[in-house]
Structure 1
Amino acid sequence: MAAAGRILRDAVKFLAPIGLALIVGAGARFVIQGQLDLIGQGLLAAGAVLVLAYLVAFPSETARVVRARQTRYGSNTAVLIAAVAGILVAANILGTRYHYRWDLTRTGRFTLSEQTRQILGELRAPLKAYAFFTEGSTTEDRVQAEDLLKEYKNASALFDYEFIDPDREPSRAVQYNVRLYGTVVFEYQGRRQETTSVSEQQFTSAILRVVRESPKKVYFLVGHGERDSASFDRPGYSQAKAALEANSMNVATLNLATAQNVPDDADAVVIAGPTRPALPQELDALSRYLARGGGVVVLAEPDTPQPFIDWLRQYGLQVGPGVVVEPGRAYFGDPLTPVVDTYEPGPITRNLGATVFAVATAVTRTAETPTGLVYTDLFKTTDQSWLETDKSVARYDPGVDTKGPLTLAVTVEGKFPGAGDQSGSAQNGRLAVVGDADFAANQWAAAPGNNDLFLRLVSWAAKQQEGEQLVSIPPRPSNEPNLILTSQQQNLVFLSSVVFLPAIVLLLGAIVWYRRR
């Protein structure tokens, strides 16, 4: 009986260490999970009961330990450790509930553009991205895709993503119709949009396309020598077309000589730099389209064929004649290439960057304009400019040439002549005219505001709802800094590192040798 009591007493001595271990386990579970779940509460309660049982079973031992000097010193240490642990736990809780991040990279690699944040902020349902990369892939696209998707998730609680290995889960690849490695599929309310290019521009464009239920349809007029929307040459419009498609717009060509009418699904028609006359029947088709509430964007040139000029004149607009000469704001000193960075206030020009126009003409209002139409000038040249009518010499001739400021772009909105029935039930049409077609060409697409201006003009003509975002995100600059040295700087680096520094070392050595000699 005495032996059994001794065994029981020895066993009770282990209650305190076991209880403390359980309490520590409960604390660790709380730190890891951020909350004390049912299991953690059980561990904490069991640990407290075991420690209390030990204190009741050995009151004299407990009193002796408490009075000991080592206990007092140890209690100070325990309080300090508990305080540090409490600070760490509080920091962990605050870091979990209040998430703040700072991008310290030189190029802002981990900072999303304001356009992307606005689009994500307007989500009304969960949006999920499925990235199909092989597991363990360390390619640049894989790393960049993960970095970007993390930033998208941090920007919106409704966004989530998942990486899928198409080799290990081929059924998932078949489910999402994925054929290429590196494909990212965005799914929103049952609709899907994929992209194989890894960049913020492409990701945000894909999100915009999948979020918008009905994309706009834009037609490029052909048959009169207009700019080719499929051409990658300098005068071509392939980048303009890509920008429209990136903003959830379907692009097609339209030949009115065969179609006879503008299709009913057309939200806007672009006439980009025609060089040959149009037939009267074609211009009548455009007039009927405007009359029923359509949108037309005309990008004219100084040599625009006369039928197009006459067609615009019936709506109160005069294109040319002449070439704009702008010595005050010339692009790299070329007065035939004006730069515009001051705009009239309005939705098209709001926060627009500087735009460059090559060999442009003026767009002015005629003395008499049709009733029911509202005209808005978008931007003008400086008062140092003039409209040169003599192509052989760029010299201002008073009484012959028109003195600036000269209007380069005008928008017209309202019920165009002949619209609808006699009751006036037709919708408002929209017409935008710019005195240059080169600004939207591939050659000038990289200018700060050129691409944006073209997008905004087409978006306005297509009656894209106010507040809908347009995506024009420039690529991130390279993380590798470029050091460009002049010839003088190169000589200085060479002399200082190859000549002067070794010479100083040799001189000091010679001085030390001489003094010790």
Structure 2
Amino acid sequence: MTDTAHRSMSRWFEAAGFHLLLLTAAALLGWLSHQYNLAWDWSDSARNSLHPASRALIARLDAPLRITSFAPENPVLRGQILEVLERYRRLQPLIEIDFVNPAMEPTRTRELGIQVAGELHLSYQGRSENLRVIDEQSISNTIQRLLLRTERWIVGIQGHGERRLDGQANHDLGSLGAELTRKGYRVRELPLGTQGDLPANTGVLVIASPQRDYLAGELRAIERHIEGGGSLLWLLEPDQGPHPAQLLELLGITPLPGTVVDPNAADLGLDNPAIAIVNAYPDHPAVEHFRLVTLYPQAAALSLQPTASWQARALLTTLPRTWNETGPLKGRVARDPQQGELAGPLVLGYSLERRIHDKTQRVIVLGDGDFLSNTYIGNGGNLDLGINLLRWLSGDEGLLDIPSRVANDLLLQLSDTQGAIIGLGFLLILPVALFTAGGLVWWRRGRA
């Protein structure tokens, strides 16, 4: 065999070996992709992956969660739905996904109340809920609602000028009530005068800034709720409305006279000194990892008279330079110690706990209701704080919030100069460079 034939045969074997190895590697990669389901998300803010809060939420599942999509035989629609749901199933094998063609099972579709194509039906341990908006925020919140094992009501007392949890007026708490409902809580308003006692499934009783005194029978019903170990959120107001002495004595809380004045508000561009600022929180489960600034308009400071039964902790504390102003909030105001005006930091809220009837009872008393009103709840972290407090009172602090994430990398913003440079590069410089490289290759081959 000549040298030329030997080299030709060697090159043939090398090429055949290379292609054989390439095919083997491709087959091996295909087999590995079926055996191991791995994914990487390089998008901005990892929007194509589950938020850590969603991951922690589905980790709490201890029984199969069945998700049924009622979608027609449309590959595009089903593919889009499956893409979202697979993010959950990849991390939690207890999640089962199924597709049903509504046209093939009209009876089942009608019985479950399915109304739109692609609507989801989630069922978990005998509880179920339909979902039309298919994104992480909505799906995780639905799972969160299904995880609430018992229907515990958040009950707001009505009939004495209180802020309503379903009200739309500026002073009402309708935005808070709507968010609680969205997160799976049952929010009810109750005219206490028509009830002998609060419903047995009252999870948290809310007393939201009443403007008129409670009747003796109504006070006894509230006392029975507290003495029976029920949770309570009590929103007080400065020098406004009734502050039932027997309830305050039972809890060991006393409102200080006047309204909290906070000169630090000017540092945030606020021109109202009667807005108190809280930007630091204690090591308490209700505000664990909470780092948002919260604002409290027209708030009352509170003092504590410790009792033997309650374990009380300051929950909300103002910044230094604050005081409780007892005079008119007009013109220049300054602290007058002779009028009982105390220098801050002042306490705006206390949490109280005790063991009673073989369970832990939780109470929160705050010196302000405006911060949760429809007018102010969007300021700073007011809404998030309100949700956290009610979660703690309900014993559901283990349930996590799933914030929506903004996709910041969907839009490429370029200046005119940057656009011109890119356009010049693609339209002129790159073609010239390719033409030059091709010419050099041709010239070198011609010389060889």
TM superposition score category, shorter chain reference: 0.7 to 0.9
Q: Deviations over 1:306-365 (max 9, x none)?
A: 334663244211123222222225543243223322101010010113142232424433
Name the counterpart of 1:13: none
Name the counterpart of 2:347: 407
Q: Deviations over 1:394-424 (max 9, x none)?
A: 3222333221001111011226xxx8xxxxx
Check 1:178–1:92 CA distance in 2 against 1; reply closer, same or farther (3 A cut). Answer: same
Greater C-alpha radius of gyration? 1
Name the counterpart of 1:289: 225
> What is the Cα deviation at residue 185 of structure 1?
0.8
Choose the corresponding residue for 1:452, options 384, 391, 397. Answer: 384
Contact 1:216 1:248 (8 Å CA) reproduced: no
Partner-residue secondary structure (3-state), 2:22: helix
- C-alpha separation between the residues in 1 aligned to 2:261 and 2:79? 49
Structure 2 letter corresponding to 1:374: Q
Contact 1:245 1:251 (8 Å CA) reproduced: yes
Name the counterpart of 1:349: 287
Name the counterpart of 1:377: 314
> What is the Cα deviation at residue 80 of structure 1?
0.9
| Alignment map for 1:39-438 (pairs within 5 Å) | 71-106=9-44, 108-136=46-74, 145-308=81-244, 311-329=247-265, 331-334=268-271, 335-366=273-304, 368-393=305-330, 394-400=333-339, 401-414=341-354, 427-438=359-370
Check 1:175–1:242 CA distance in 2 against 1; reply closer, same or farther (3 A cut). Answer: same
Partner-residue secondary structure (3-state), 1:408: strand
> What is the Cα deviation at residue 169 of structure 1?
3.8
Contact 2:276 2:299 (8 Å CA) reproduced: no
Partner-residue secondary structure (3-state), 2:338: coil
Contact 1:293 1:426 (8 Å CA) reproduced: no
Give the alignment's Cα RMSD to 1 decimal.
3.2
Contact 1:291 1:426 (8 Å CA) reproduced: no
> What is the Cα deviation at residue 385 of structure 1?
1.2
Structure 1 letter corresponding to 2:43: T
Partner-residue secondary structure (3-state), 2:68: strand
Contact 1:410 1:432 (8 Å CA) reproduced: yes
Structure 2 letter corresponding to 1:351: H
Contact 2:155 2:202 (8 Å CA) reproduced: yes
Contact 1:200 1:473 (8 Å CA) reproduced: no
TM-score by length of 2: 0.81
- C-alpha separation between the residues in 2 aligned to 1:86 and 1:309? 83
- C-alpha separation between the residues in 1 aligned to 2:28 and 2:211? 72
Structure 1 letter corresponding to 2:60: E
Partner-residue secondary structure (3-state), 1:267: strand
Q: Deviations over 1:459-516 (max 9, x none)?
A: 222334x6x3143524646776597x9xxxxxx979x99xxx9xxxxxxxxxxxxxxx
Structure 1 letter corresponding to 2:145: R
Structure ranking higher on relative contact order (CA contacts 8 Å, 6+ apart) = 2
> What is the Cα deviation at residue 249 of structure 1?
2.0
Check 1:273–1:97 CA distance in 2 against 1; reply closer, same or farther (3 A cut). Answer: farther
Check 1:477–1:338 CA distance in 2 against 1; reply closer, same or farther (3 A cut). Answer: farther
- C-alpha separation between the residues in 1 aligned to 2:407 and 2:366? 31
Check 1:91–1:429 CA distance in 2 against 1; reply closer, same or farther (3 A cut). Answer: same
Structure 2 letter corresponding to 1:412: L
Structure 1 letter corresponding to 2:375: Q
Check 1:289–1:190 CA distance in 2 against 1; reply closer, same or farther (3 A cut). Answer: closer
Partner-residue secondary structure (3-state), 1:288: helix
Q: Structure 1 vs Structure 2: percent identity of aligned residues?
A: 26
- C-alpha separation between the residues in 2 aligned to 1:474 and 1:273? 32
Partner-residue secondary structure (3-state), 2:251: coil
Check 1:237–1:97 CA distance in 2 against 1; reply closer, same or farther (3 A cut). Answer: farther
Q: How many residues align?
A: 411
Q: Deviations over 1:179-233 (max 9, x none)?
A: 3444211122343211223332321122122233313221111112112222234
Contact 2:156 2:207 (8 Å CA) reproduced: yes
- C-alpha separation between the residues in 1 aligned to 2:410 and 2:384? 28
Check 1:329–1:92 CA distance in 2 against 1; reply closer, same or farther (3 A cut). Answer: farther
Choose the corresponding residue for 1:443, options 337, 355, 375. Answer: 375
- C-alpha separation between the residues in 1 aligned to 2:190 and 2:302? 28
> What is the Cα deviation at residue 148 of structure 1?
2.6
Check 1:181–1:447 CA distance in 2 against 1; reply closer, same or farther (3 A cut). Answer: farther
- C-alpha separation between the residues in 1 aligned to 2:182 and 2:238? 31
Contact 1:374 1:412 (8 Å CA) reproduced: yes
- C-alpha separation between the residues in 1 aligned to 2:404 and 2:170? 19
> What is the Cα deviation at residue 110 of structure 1?
1.4
- C-alpha separation between the residues in 2 aligned to 1:329 and 1:240? 24
Structure 1 letter corresponding to 2:335: Y
Structure 2 letter corresponding to 1:451: L
Contact 1:267 1:463 (8 Å CA) reproduced: no
- C-alpha separation between the residues in 2 aligned to 1:383 and 1:128? 53
> What is the Cα deviation at residue 268 of structure 1?
1.0
Q: Can you give the 5+ residue segments of structure 2 that lack an aligned partner in the other structure?
A: 425-448
Q: Deviations over 1:5-29 (max 9, x none)?
A: xxxxxxxxxxxxxxxxxxxxxxxxx
Contact 1:319 1:361 (8 Å CA) reproduced: no
TM-score by length of 1: 0.71
